[in-house]
Amino acid sequence: MTASLVTLTVAIVAAAAVLIAYLAFTRRNGGTALLGPRLEALAATQNEIAGRFAQALAGQTELQTVIAARIDALDRRLGDNLKETATKTAETLGGIQTRLTVIDEAQKNIAELSGQVVNLQEILSNKQARGAFGQAQMEAIVADALPPGLYEFQAQLSNGSRPDCVIRLRGAGGALVIDSKFPLESFVGLRAAAEGERRAALANVRSDVLKHVKDIAEKYLIPGETQTPAIMFVPSESIYADLHEFCPEVIQKAQSAHVLVVSPNILMLAIVTVRSVMKDARMREQASAIQKEVGLLLKDVGLLSERVEKLQRHFGQADTDIRDILTSSGKIASRAEKIQNVEIETPAQLGAPD
């Protein structure tokens, strides 16, 4: 459109130049006869060109207005898009920051758990620490299920031995003994043994466990003081399962020696059973006490009935005595009245002849 305006302007300027040149030529030649019609034609052409120029200017103005409106709309659309993009970008960055925070916390937790796993491995690799770990687990199970008066940790028996836990059962004639130590090294050797070394590793497991069973039976099973069986606590469900799977004869020999091998879950069930038995025993004791008190109450009611009967008899006798007293008093009053009505003779009357 700009090139067309330039061409049109150049054409107008050229027409004006031609007109000026023509007028100069005509004046020089002295001819004026043809000047009027040609000037009129030239003026008409010039007017037409001016009209087209004005029309082109109007079209250009309208085009500029449309272009400006479209540019404004495009600017607004670009601004809205940029604003929306910036908002979404901020939300995405915020979500990424939140996820990074969660990932950072998860990494910290993983590092903490790794340290705990290392500590647990150190505990299990140390015999003394492993015994304390198993004892703590056993004590937590017992303390969570039984009242404090029924159990005692590290109590001394009559032979001087100190089992890890003693549960004193009321009316059972002896205490229940729990030992929380367990030979773990042979099981570790069994799991690490190659195919050709497995038989020797199983023999070590049997030997160590049976030796521990024998120690428990000799130290903690005291006739009249402790009950049978004694409990050997294994602080691992997987080791307990391996013992049943690979060494079932060890379990049988332990039962023959009156030693019961239990895992944490089985110990919990056993303690809950003991609590139920003790609750039933206490209920029976309370029922016996209630029956005794009811018997005494009936005896007191009988004595009260006898005393009420005696009181009733006393009241009846008192009523009879009162009636007798009233009868006697009535007689006395009657006789007094008769005595009062008796006419006593004077001496003159006594001396006078009849």
Higher pLDDT, 8 or 99: 99
pLDDT digits (tens, 9 = 90+) for 221-235: 998 889 888 999 988
Q: Which of 215, 252, 211, 261 is nearest to 234 (CA)?
A: 261
Alpha-carbon distance values, 304 to 220, 301, 312, 314 (Å)? 56, 5, 12, 15
**319: exposed, middle or buried (C-beta count within 10 Å: 0-12, 13-18, 19+)?**
exposed
Is the per-residue pLDDT at 196 higher than 70? yes
State phi, psi for 153 to the nearest 5 degrees. -95, 140
Give the tens place of pLDDT for each residue, 307-345: 888 878 887 787 787 887 878 777 777 777 777 776 555
Of 6-15, 30-39, 197-206, the range with the highest mean pLDDT is 197-206
Nearest to 157 by CA among 133, 174, 139: 174
264-295: pLDDT as tens digits:
899 888 888 888 777 766 676 666 677 777 77
Measured CA to CA, the distance from residue 252 to residue 244 in angstroms comes to 10
How confident is the model over 100-130, as pLDDT tens digits?
A: 888 878 777 776 665 554 444 544 455 544 5
Cα–Cα distance for residue pair 264/178, rounded to 1 Å: 12
Contacts of 185 (CB under 8 A, 6+ apart): 127, 208
Task: Give the contacts of 120 (CB within 8 A, at least 6 positions apart).
Answer: none
The answer to whether 175 touches 166, Cβ cutoff 8 Å, is: yes
- End-to-end alpha-carbon separation of the chain, Å? 195
* Separation CA 231–CA 130 (nearest Å): 18
Decide: 260 and 229 in contact? Cβ < 8 Å: yes
Contact by Cβ (8 Å): 275, 148: no
Nearest CA to 239 out of 284, 184, 289, 277 is that of 184
Which stretch, 36-40, 67-71, 295-299, has highest mean pLDDT? 67-71
CA distance 55 to 201: 110
Peptide bond into 183 cis (omega under 30): no
* pLDDT tens readout for residues 46-104: 677 767 767 766 777 777 787 878 888 887 888 788 788 878 888 887 788 788 888 87
Cα distances (angstroms) measured from residue 95 to each of 52, 106, 190, 283: 63, 16, 50, 62
